[in-house]
Amino acid sequence: MNATALPNLRIDPERLWADLMESARIGATAKGGICRLTLTDLDRQVRDWFRTAAESLGCTVTVDDMGTMFARRAGQRNDIPPIAMGSHLDTQPTGGKFDGTLGVLAALEALRALHRAGYETFAPIEVVNWTNEEGSRFAPAMIASGVFGGVFTRDWAVARQDRAGVSFGDALEAIGYRGAQRCGDHPLSAFFEVHIEQGPYLEMENKNIGVVTGVQAIRWYDVTFTGQDSHAGTTPMHRRHDALLGAARLVETVNAIALRHKGSVGTVGVLEVKPASTNVIPGETYLTIDCRDPDEAVLDRMEQDLNAAAEAIAHALGLEVVLKNIVRQPAVHFDPQCIEAVRRGAASAGLSTRDMMSGAGHDAAYVARVAPASMIFVPCKDGISHNEAEYSSKEQCANGAQVLLQAVLDYDRTLAEKMR
């Protein structure tokens, strides 16, 4: 079978679900989730599992020097860049079975459908496993796709350290997944990513598929308050320089600033206290701030408010403060042709859709800087993600994989028509 006509191939929901459950055993938690931090031995194990699964379909697996894996199925024209699909296999410390993993395994199942049918695409087709999408061990998130898209330099990326002082580069070497190809020297004809929505809208509106038109702007900040650690029982209240009090006031302020702007969100996700002793007034605190909005002008105003508030809090309490912007990701608008391929894929599968911007960052956002890209969302129960309770049903996962397959075939046919 060749690419002259668009076939009605079907993915196997049972096989996809079995893959999700099998891979979830690697790093499984007691509460039914996954703790599979990037570049740990558990990450190595799931990478090995993915490599074996892809090679069993006749794919050639290559790895770049940021550890990103590319499983390629040959097409009629192997001299043109592949159409890629995928996501990531690393998780949050208390992650679920679907965030990221669904995108890789849905893509793998799409390849299986092509393999079962003996269907030969025009372009090569690849499944991609991006390194360190979550950013939970090495900040910021999406480091490998960021290097791929030219946002970060490789030297900067591999020097990132986790909280224990281990560098990204050393951890990558330790698990044996530093490849020879320079990250970014891997052109793509297009990239499609399936993901759970991580929000409540598809479920609330009873829609099957989110057609993702872009990703809202994101900014991350590191903040350190420095005061003076001192005895909790002997230091009068009016003579204290309590760094934790400063952090507490800023946490409340982040929430208030986000509420001033409709559609904005603001989160403090990390708070560390030193020296962390019951009877010592904290002398230093470190916290992270995550702000997001579709409009970058709104984020500019939020940033101004954050800086002013941090300085005012520090002055009032006799503290020093350093607020540093570490991630500045602009809003992303996905490729119209890729978006239409997703729409047509959903229509061919008889599934209802909703256009939406992604509230979360994804690898596709950085890939979109160097290749046409789009995303496909499926509902998740109660909009919960980054949580062991995260859940999408077998049918919902299968729907996402089916739309992915049809979108890739649609794009492949269009590509063939242009080049013939």
Please choose, from the candidates 410, 9, 17, 403, the residue with its C-alpha nearest in 3D space to the C-alpha of residue 212.
403
DSSP string, 224-293: EEE---EETTTS-GGG---HHHHHHHHHHHHHHHHHTSTT-EEEEEEEEEES--TTEE--EEEEEEEEEE
Whole-angstrom CA distances from 139 to 156, 168, 221 are: 12, 10, 11
Q: Any idea which residue has 């729907």 for tokens?
A: 399
Residue 169 DSSP SS3:
helix
Q: Any idea which residue has 């209802």 for tokens?
A: 352
Residue 134 assigned ligand-binding role? yes
Residue 88 assigned ligand-binding role? yes
What are the percentages of helix, strand and coil residues in the chain, rounded to 5?
35, 25, 40
Whole-number Å distance between alpha carbons of 268 and 276? 19
Residue 374 half-sphere exposure toward CB, CA atoms < 13 A: 23
**Contact indicator for 369, 362 with CB cutoff of 8 Å:** no
- Dihedrals phi, psi of 288, to nearest 5 degrees: -115, 150
Q: Any idea which residue has 């893959």 for tokens?
A: 19
Outline where DSSP puts E strands in 18-138: 60-63, 69-73, 83-88, 125-130
Let me know if 273 is exposed, middle or buried by CB neighbors in 10 A (0-12, 13-18, 19+).
middle
Residue 99 assigned ligand-binding role? yes
7 preceded by cis ω (within 30°)? Answer: no
Known binding positions: 88, 99, 134, 195, 386
Known binding positions for Zn(2+): 88, 99, 134, 195, 386
